[in-house]
Chain A
Amino acid sequence: MRYAFFAGCTTLARLWGYEKATRKVAEQLGVELVDMPGSSCCGTTYLETLDHKTGVAVAARNICIAEEMGLDVVTVCNGCTEVLMKANKELKEDPKLRAEVNEVLADVGKEFKGTVEVKHFVRMLKDDIGLEKIRSEVEHPLKGLRVGTHYGCHMLKPSDIMVQDDPEAPTTLDELVEVTGAESVAYPNKLECCAGPIMGIREAVTWSVGLEKVETVKKYADLLITACPFCYLTYERCQLIQENSPNVPVVHYPQLLGLALGIDYDDLGFDSNKIDASILQKFAEG
């Protein structure tokens, strides 16, 4: 299996551990992630709220690169996933918008043709590789590990775009945690937003939202799992700035899966997790 790999600004610039673990896990499962030459920021969810056409056009330019490569796109950021999936769907379904956007894209020598799909890495794992196949590849079941999952809003919503899971009772990430042998625990307010998008407007609100989540998770689980760089940074940062940090490890899903697949702890980028996640070493060995 081959995919065009769209890592997104935040992961490329700051979350090397996430990217590294994603690439390692893909390799282990026989998935080739091909970088997209000339690709830019997805456009951000912010841009689309300011100007619809511009947002769709910047997203479409990236999709066009994948179309030229003849590959479906795999993303690791919920924001990118929503932006690219929404643009892709709207452009496929709305001929008027497509004509308008293609007029803009013509100036940069691109044309949206509607020939590829966009999906988050975790959707690719579940839908294209499959839980059974992944289970059969697990070498170190993470028995006894209790995990709190955080989906992040834009993996699920708006649900008329992100159609693959139930926005009020999602299961994908929990199933993917359970195949590693770990237990995905229920905890209150599991689906609450990380509030990362208003970090630049009311920082204190974001930290308060984040802290409430990690403090809750601490009562139920050994660590928190994310699959989005923004959610990850919120839950990590909100703890780092506390004097009495709850010290709940925040781990990128591919790091967890990588351990279960038998990839070395040292090859999964844990040195870039700023809250010590070495508790995982013991589970992988045991």
Chain B
Amino acid sequence: MTERKEIRMSEADKGFRERLMETPGAEKLMLCYQCGTCTADCPVAMRVEEFRPRQIARLAAYGQKERLLGGDTVWLCAGCYTCYERCPEQVRISEIVSALRKLAIKEGIIHPTYRALMNTLAEMGYIYEIDDFQNEMREDEDLPPAPEPDTKEVEKIMRKTGFLGLVEGG
């Protein structure tokens, strides 16, 4: 999100708002009356100038796709659900951010950290590698070996839904 405050309708992406509102979680976008509870209580907004949950709702309502999906904005939500719990209209900005991420990956946009994490998950079945070395250390601690995930099954699920195809590689 740029620091520019004004919204230009000439920059609106036709149909973006509608696509967003059809995504589960973002249905109530237009109930937002910009009270600012979300931004006021957001632990990230307190520290990151460019992350403003209220502004996300406003930009989304005006179809400002590029400003929303262009930078790190949608990847900066920590998912703490404070805005979800406290929104007086149950707009739930955290869910709008999730819906924006869902639209982003369909356009090939994903933060490198998320991409790496998803590829590790598909490859290892865990988000960290748990190998013989780890299991030896576990044994030293009197812990049983970590369950060995059926990685083929995890990968198969991630591929079957079409998700893996959107995020794999680098």
Contact = CB atoms under 8 A, between A and B. Distances in A.
Given A20-B141, A41-B125, A153 B47 contact: no
B125 A40 contact: yes
B20 to A, nearest CB: 14
Nearest to B153: A108
Contacts of A195: 43-44, 78, 80
A76 to B, nearest CB: 13
Interface in A1-39: 7, 9-10, 12-14, 16, 19-20, 23, 35-39
Contact residue range for chain B?
Answer: 35 or more
A105 B153 CA distance: 9
A16 B137 contact: yes
A132 interface: no
B29 interface: no
B31 interface: no
A192 B80 CA distance: 8
Interface stretch (B11-19, B53-61, B62-70, B95-103): B95-103
Given A157-B80, A201-B75, 10 more contacts: A14-B128, A40-B154, A46-B117, A104-B157, A107-B160, A153-B78, A158-B84, A159-B85, A195-B43, A201-B113
B105 A201 contact: no
Contact of B121 (A39, A44, A61, A197): A44
A244 interface: no
Contacts of B72: 201-202
Nearest to B157: A57
A12 B80 contact: no
B163 interface: yes
Contacts of B147: 12, 35-39
15 contacts: A12-B126, A35-B144, A35-B147, A49-B98, A50-B167, A61-B154, A105-B157, A107-B156, A107-B157, A157-B82, A167-B85, A200-B113, A201-B113, A202-B44, A209-B43
A50 B158 contact: no
A51 B102 contact: yes
A189 to B, nearest CB: 9
A44 to B, nearest CB: 6
Interface of A: 7, 9-10, 12-14, 16, 19-20, 23, 35-41, 43-54, 57-58, 61, 104-105, 107-108, 110, 153-154, 157-159, 167-168, 192-193, 195-198, 200-202, 205, 208-209, 269, 272
B128 A58 contact: no
Contacts of B146: 7, 12-13
Contacts of A39: 147, 149
B48 interface: yes
Contacts of B47: 205, 208-209
Nearest to B74: A49
Interface string B93-122: 000011001100100001101100110010
A13 B128 contact: yes
B143 interface: yes
Nearest to A9: B126
Nearest to A5: B147
Interface of B: 24, 43-44, 47-48, 72, 75-82, 84-85, 97-98, 101-102, 105, 110-111, 113-114, 117-118, 121, 125-130, 134, 137-138, 141-144, 146-151, 153-154, 156-158, 160-161, 163, 166-167
Contact of A9 (B111, B113, B128, B138): B128
Nearest to A196: B78
Contacts of A205: 44, 47-48
Contacts of A12: 126, 130, 134, 138, 146-147
A49 B92 CA distance: 14
Given A38-B150, A51-B105, A197 B128 contact: no
Nearest to A267: B142
Contacts of B78: 153, 193, 195-198
A104 B159 CA distance: 10
